[in-house]
Amino acid sequence: MTLLLEINNTSFQLDSLMIVQDTIYTFEIKNMEGEFYYENHSFHSISGTEIKNPNHQSQRCKILLRQLLKNINLHFPVEAFVIFVNPHFTLYQAPRELPIILPTQLHSFMTTLASKPSKLNSRHTKLAETLLLEHQYESPYTRRPAYYYRQLKKGITCPKCHAFMLKTENRMLMCGSCSWMENLDSAVMRSIEEFKLLFPDQKITTRVMVDWCGGEYSGKTIRRILVQNLTLKGYGRWTYFE
């Protein structure tokens, strides 16, 4: 189970965590393939292109986990390693002190871990239970900020650059920023899908969609598009679309 934790409004993810008698080990698991080399504290592909250093992420998680443990009054040493599991991964010039485990080192590393004393007690159980309680089931990056319908600027936006679309002839819209062109029916339906995402509990009605699309199109036009693409529900003043 991957742990998603948070400390001081900063989130971090642990791919794998092991609790032994006197230490917590965290492992950043990488399945990279190919030849790479280490130079000037950076990882590079064999062609010379610098890539994201996985050790930076691993050490960041180590620091944040230590802070979290301190905040909840659980004091354990933390060690962090990056584990490269793909047998077709090669890293040249890696310093011996770098906290990484290469595929050829994996067996001996696991043997060393297995040999460590591991008499667990209630303190370790409390640690495991607390970390599970701290696990965030929803990533903070998916949390929507507070917003209200009346605060939002209405109109159909460009799917490419998100500027507002301009009304043209022949049932077409054009982006005033990047000149993207789109059929009116397609643009209105795309805008309706955005409305449904932002306001999933609100009913789709002709009046609301006229307003949501910026008031540029008549109720007759919007209703035609709704009737052609959605299912009509209700009667009279309570009519809406799904």
Give tens-digit pLDDT for 171-188.
889 888 888 888 999 999
Q: Are strands 16-19 and 24-30 parallel, antiparallel or unpaired?
A: antiparallel
Residue pair 211/154 in contact (Cβ under 8 Å)? The answer is yes
Give the start-end residues of each E strand in the chain.
3-7, 10-14, 16-19, 24-30, 34-39, 42-45, 50-51, 78-84, 89-92, 100-101, 165-167, 172-175, 181-183, 232-233, 240-241
* Res 143: pLDDT: 57
Is residue 139's pLDDT more than 70? no
- Hey, how many other C-beta atoms are within 10 angstroms of the C-beta on 228? 9
Whole-number mean pLDDT of the chain? 88
pTM over 0.85: no
Q: Helix, strand, or coil here: 69? A: helix
Burial of 14-53, coded b for 16+ CB within 10 Å and e otherwise, reads bbebebbeeebbbbbebebeeebebeeeebbeeeeeeeee
Q: Alpha-carbon distance 75 to 94, whole Å?
A: 31
Q: For 6-41, how does the pLDDT look when each residue is reduced to its tens digit (9 = 90+)?
A: 888 788 889 899 998 889 999 999 999 999 999 988
Rounded to an integer, what distance in angstroms lies between the CA atom of residue 107 and that of residue 115? 13
DSSP H stretches of helix in 149-199:
184-198
Task: Give the position of tokens 């035609």.
Answer: 224
Side chain identity, residue 242: E
Residue 141: pLDDT over 60: no
